Amino acid sequence: MNETLSPQERIRNKKEFSHLYKNGSRYRGKYFNLIYASNDLSFSRMAVVISKKVGSAVRRNKIKRQMRALFRRNKNLLESSFDILIIAKKEILEASWLMLQEDYFAALRSIGQNK
């Protein structure tokens, strides 16, 4: 199993974003919300959305890096291929790495059940 995050595995197209916003299922977490939908590809894709209201550019970049690390190191926890949109909330600034990890695992379990 690889832990890479190649350009293919990211959501970068405007159409794909609006498709997710329209048709995706939602999960509400403590530090972030998820919008997700199963896709027809053989792999999952993800993107992180974080508003300017959450913090400065430095803080936002760090959170994006952490969320991407969570995704790529835990791809095996997803049973099938999904498009996942992670929307960070203001509360994420107080979260430590371990708390983020737990919240992310809980979110993945929720996705598995809903399927």
The site for RNA (CB under 7 A) is made up of 2-7, 10-15, 17, 47-49, 53, 56-58, 61-62, 64-66, 68-69, 72-73, 97-98
- In the β-sheet with 82-88, what is the strand arrangement from edge to edge? 25-28, 32-38, 82-88, 45-49
Task: Give phi and psi for 112, each to the nearest 5.
Answer: -60, -40
Torsion sign over Cα 1, 87, 35, 95: positive
Question: Please, which residue, 4 or 42, has the CB nearer to RNA?
Answer: 4
Instruction: Name the minimum Å distance from CB 113 to RNA.
Output: 26
Instruction: Name the minimum Å distance from CB 88 to RNA.
Output: 12
Q: Are 89 and 31 in contact (CB under 8 A)?
A: yes
Strand (E) or helix (H) holding 106: helix 97-114
Question: Please, which residue, 30 or 54, has the CB nearer to RNA?
Answer: 54
Question: Please, which residue, 16 or 38, has the CB nearer to RNA?
Answer: 16
Instruction: Name the minimum Å distance from CB 30 to RNA.
Output: 18
Question: Please, which residue, 10 or 113, has the CB nearer to RNA?
Answer: 10
